[in-house]
Amino acid sequence: MSIIVLAMLFGIPFALKSNSKAIFKNEKEMAEIINGVWQTGNSEFDFTLTIDGNSAYMSNGNKVDEPSKIVLVPDNGYFYFESNGNEKDSRYNVIYDNGEYVIKTEKWEYRKQK
Residue 4 in any domain: the answer is no
Q: What is the mean pLDDT of the chain?
A: 85
* Residue 61 predicted with pLDDT over 60: yes
In this structure, what CATH number is given to the domain that contains residue 60?
Answer: 2.40.128
Q: What is the mean pLDDT of residues 38-63?
A: 92
Q: What local confidence, expressed as pLDDT, does residue 47 receive?
A: 94
First to last CA, the chain: 47
What are the CA-CA distances from residue 92 to residues 11, 40, 53, 71, 74 (Å)? 29, 13, 15, 10, 12
Residue 9 in any domain: the answer is no
Range of the domain at 96: 19-112
The total number of structural domains that make up the chain: 1
Residue 46 in any domain: the answer is yes
Q: Model confidence at 62, in pLDDT bands (50, 70, 90)?
A: confident
Give residue 76's identity as a one-letter amino acid code: N
